[in-house]
Structure 1
Amino acid sequence: MAQRREGKSSDESTNSEALSIAQNARISQRFLATNLGLMTDSVILKRSLSLNSVISTASSFSIRFQNARSQPNLQYLNQIGSGLQGAVFEQVGKPLALKKESPGNEKLRSNLSHEHTIHRGVSATFEYYQSINTEVHVPKPLRFISKEENSAFWDEILPKTPEPYRVRGDLVMMERILPLPKVVRKALISQFCAPEQHLNGTEIEAILNNPQNKHCLARVYLGNANGTIDRKTPLRNFPLCLDPMEQIGIETVPLANAMGKAYATLNWGGAINGDDVEFVLGTSATAAQGTDHAPNFQHRAVQLYLLDFGQCEVVDLTQDPDVVYQAFKGAMVTGDNQRFIPHYSRSPALFATFRQGYIEAGNIILSDKKLDTKFNMEDFMQEYEEYAEDFL
């Protein structure tokens, strides 16, 4: 055991240096010019998919948003996603996402009301511990709207909703994660899909112009070496897996460290097990200059987001450590979580970075909550690894 921990200390020291180097390097690459599209696909992805890169783009999204801001008749809803709970929409002219519950889902434990409650807790926790989680963003939960109430809202919104969804259903409003810009989407298709599917330029443009492919977020699968890309809608929830990321040169060390801190904040700050959460790369509009302070959609910051809390459960931290540890490590090895968490044996150096981030953030939070004599982060992560050996 001592030898194993000594090896981990060496890995974590090495990765701490790598993390520092990567963070310093990002400072000089934070602003990317509009000539990004003149570069090779791999260079575009390497530079764009680094945390806090800013991409300047004269996008159609920006034009649509600006035109609709002061014209309610243009603020219709477009579907931008779907999941187990229901459909997700954008409202043109507003920086919002609306998730509308599918009929019957409200009867399940993991209903939209449950997710909204968990989401509010996660958002408050990450805001409180924002100094720990500078690299991970949680979309702000704004409002829960019941299908039984708010008749004025439904009278206004349903006519703007796509025809198949023009029925009432519980709905949540939240801050929207903006998609990756077109220059990045094209590079993803050209780099990952075109060679395998033998796509020509016309076919690549057809994929890009498919409305379902315009709402592109990239799932950061540090635990998956490779994955399958959907042929019909490859850009919706694009699987960005570890081997291609490393081949291109995308910085994975800062991502692993940030994820470790985020899981620790969920667990020990929010007392939430983190079951089936997702980490995605998306963008946000930069703060605008001027009098109206409207967001500037022509300058988009690439950021790492944590979302999807429908399967999460609250864990009572007054229980015995063994019970609490089981709740957290059990969630970490099930569902999609293992796609995001670096594998402890296949990617030991990257896992050491994740582990280091988890322990550092966990220790700060436990000290703040005066629980540092009850729970031990080194012991928990050791238990997680031993538990993962039996399941992975």
Structure 2
Amino acid sequence: MPANQRRLGTSSESYPISPTLENDISANLRLCSLLSTVEQQDNTQEPGDLGELEQQLSSMLSLRSWVSTTPSNAQQHTAAQSRRTSAFKKIGAGACGAIYAQDGKSLVVKVSKANDDSLWNDYKMHTRISSMFSKGGFREIKIPEVYFFVPRDDPRYFEHNPELAQAASQVCNLPASVLVSERILPLAKRTRKLLIEKYCAPRIKQAAFSDTANRDCLVRPYLGSMQGKIGGLFFSLRNFKMHLNQMVYLRLDVESMASSMGTAMAIMHWEARTDARDVEFVLGSSSKKTSAQLSLEELEKIQHPTYTGPPSYITEDFFHRSTDLWLLDFNQVRMITMDEAGVAQAVEAARINDPYLPKPLGDSDIEKIIWNAFSEHYIRAADFILADSQGLLRLPRLFIRGLIEAQEEKKKRDF
């Protein structure tokens, strides 16, 4: 990023764009047929008032809202911090590996199921994309900290963590490679209960409440799908899929989510120069960490040595959690070239990913509004990143056009 560029954000005011470039962006947006005429309105407005359950759920799923956790749950994590070791439990799995966590620790261990190459690529691309987010000062979407990698032929990590070896041996063939990163904490117990009350079929609600796997709750925001339904035969809060129509009903700020996703995709494409293949966006939570230090002014007012830690007197405060939009899963991400072939690769990756991104050519006003927000912030962020490479400014526009053409072809097939 050039020295004169500072920070990326989701609001247009965050971009130091000249009037000439601003006009050029608008012109190119129109040329790419991005914008539809949409009457500006409250994009989450639904007839009537929400019930008490929906109001609470809306509040708890709103980005950067703080939720107080139940004392029993927070105390469980707090007590685990004082123990030297605690059991590892599997909280997720995918083609790349199985994921384990411990109570009281905000880290996860991904143990490879197959070979080192996929997990090593996960490590490299995670680090690459995270560093580019930090470089641009983009914080609207969080990326877990990536800590370290352990290759298959180094046995010492499992020797020092026998609890992990015991848990992983039930799923993975040890020895195996390991990637350690920050854990995205599940949504709070109260949020999980409300999700079950709202979306689970009555005949299986009790089973859902009792299923310990549902404690590991992350929500996938599918802005590209209006197919959300209630009452299926299967229900799980692990990677719970919440579709656009459901988010609109809860009056969540989907336009802000779309804007943030647009900026995030531009960073992954044009700053990190990757295709963002199979990445995931999820709503999860963060605990209060002790890294929030007193300011110098606050400290100088204190006359005697005084406790300055969190009110809970623990290293990590699990009693309060913030709801955040996270980006994760980088094992399938690949580098792209800065040309039409790279654009085609990025379009294909976006096409086969889960429907996190808004889709063009939607029928409803809200689909048009969030597509406009996504595409406009994508172009703005890309132009910001490529400001010193004027010859490349056509590439992000080709990506947007590629998404439109892919959706046109899909509509023809479905007709």
Same fold per superposition (TM over 0.5): yes
Q: 1:192/1:373 Cα in 2 relative to 1: closer, same or farther (>3 Å)?
A: same
Write out per-residue CA displacement over residues 26-54 of structure 1, whole angstroms, 9 at most, x where no aligned residue: xxxxxxxxxxxxx8221122111111011
- Residue 114 of structure 1 corresponds to 121
Write out per-residue CA displacement over residues 299-341 of structure 1, whole angstroms, 9 at most, x where no aligned residue: 1000000111111101133xxx3222212222111232xx111
Listed as ranges, the gaps of 5+ residues in structure 1 are: 23-38
SS in 1 for 2:352: coil
Shift of 1:175: 0.4
Query: Could you tell me which amino acid in structure 1 is paired with residue 162 of structure 2?
Result: L
Distance 2:163 2:90 in 1: 14
Out of 360, 378, 397, which is 1:344 matched to? 360
Shift of 1:96: 0.3
CA contact (8 A) 1:228 1:239 kept: no
Matched residue count: 352
Distance 2:368 2:147 in 1: 39
SS in 2 for 1:340: coil
CA contact (8 A) 2:228 2:245 kept: no
CA contact (8 A) 1:45 1:250 kept: no
Out of 166, 170, 187, which is 1:164 matched to? 170
SS in 2 for 1:311: coil
- Residue 219 of structure 2 corresponds to 218
Out of 23, 30, 33, which is 1:5 matched to? 30
Q: 1:323/1:71 Cα in 2 relative to 1: closer, same or farther (>3 Å)?
A: same
- Residue 357 of structure 1 corresponds to 377
SS in 2 for 1:284: strand
- Residue 283 of structure 2 corresponds to 281
Aligned-residue identity in percent: 27
- The yes-or-no answer on 1:71 pairing with 2:76 is no
Query: Could you tell me which amino acid in structure 2 is paired with residue 94 of structure 1?
Result: K
- The yes-or-no answer on 1:142 pairing with 2:147 is yes
Out of 53, 73, 94, which is 2:105 matched to? 94
Distance 1:69 1:198 in 2: 37
CA contact (8 A) 1:212 1:233 kept: no
SS in 1 for 2:384: helix
Distance 1:66 1:116 in 2: 29
Distance 2:162 2:107 in 1: 16
Distance 1:100 1:231 in 2: 31
SS in 1 for 2:148: strand
- Residue 159 of structure 2 corresponds to 155
Q: 1:388/1:10 Cα in 2 relative to 1: closer, same or farther (>3 Å)?
A: closer
Query: Which of the two has greater helix per residue?
Result: 1
SS in 1 for 2:390: coil
- Residue 329 of structure 2 corresponds to 308
- Residue 84 of structure 1 corresponds to 95
TM-score by length of 2: 0.77
Query: Could you tell me which amino acid in structure 2 is paired with residue 217 of structure 1?
Result: L
Shift of 1:205: 4.7
SS in 1 for 2:227: coil
- Residue 123 of structure 1 corresponds to 130
Bigger mean CA offset, 293-302 vs 374-383: 374-383
Write out per-residue CA displacement over residues 165-191 of structure 1, whole angstroms, 9 at most, x where no aligned residue: 483211100000000111111111111
Query: Could you tell me which amino acid in structure 2 is paired with residue 297 of structure 1?
Result: F
- Residue 388 of structure 1 corresponds to 407
Shift of 1:92: 2.3
SS in 1 for 2:386: helix
Shift of 1:244: 1.2
Distance 1:43 1:9 in 2: 32
Write out per-residue CA displacement over residues 97-125 of structure 1, whole angstroms, 9 at most, x where no aligned residue: 111111xx217x6x111111111111111
CA contact (8 A) 2:148 2:181 kept: yes
CA contact (8 A) 2:155 2:175 kept: no
CA contact (8 A) 2:346 2:399 kept: no
Shift of 1:3: 11
Query: Could you tell me which amino acid in structure 2 is paired with residue 313 of structure 1?
Result: R
Distance 2:73 2:257 in 1: 27
- Residue 301 of structure 2 corresponds to none
Structure possessing the higher radius of gyration over alpha carbons: 2
Show the 5 A alignment for 1:22-33. Answer: none
Shift of 1:388: 3.4
Larger RCO (alpha carbons 8 Å, 6+ apart)? 2
Write out per-residue CA displacement over residues 163-220 of structure 1, whole angstroms, 9 at most, x where no aligned residue: 6148321110000000011111111111111xxx234xxx635422311110000001
- The yes-or-no answer on 1:174 pairing with 2:181 is yes
CA contact (8 A) 1:215 1:236 kept: yes
Distance 2:155 2:63 in 1: 39
Bigger mean CA offset, 292-301 vs 116-125: 292-301
Out of 390, 395, 398, which is 1:372 matched to? 390
Shift of 1:232: 5.0
Q: 1:3/1:259 Cα in 2 relative to 1: closer, same or farther (>3 Å)?
A: closer
CA contact (8 A) 2:29 2:376 kept: no
Show the 5 A alignment for 1:208-247. Answer: 208-227=209-228, 231-247=233-249
RMSD: 2.9
Shift of 1:248: 2.0
Out of 53, 57, 79, which is 2:69 matched to? 57
SS in 2 for 1:300: strand
Q: 1:4/1:340 Cα in 2 relative to 1: closer, same or farther (>3 Å)?
A: same
CA contact (8 A) 2:283 2:324 kept: yes
CA contact (8 A) 2:383 2:393 kept: no
SS in 2 for 1:136: coil
Kindly report structure 1 stretches of 4+ aligned residues shifted beyond 4 Å. Answer: 6-15, 227-233
Bigger mean CA offset, 229-238 vs 121-130: 229-238
Write out per-residue CA displacement over residues 121-145 of structure 1, whole angstroms, 9 at most, x where no aligned residue: 1111111112xx3310111111101
- Residue 30 of structure 1 corresponds to none
- The yes-or-no answer on 1:332 pairing with 2:350 is yes
CA contact (8 A) 1:11 1:352 kept: no
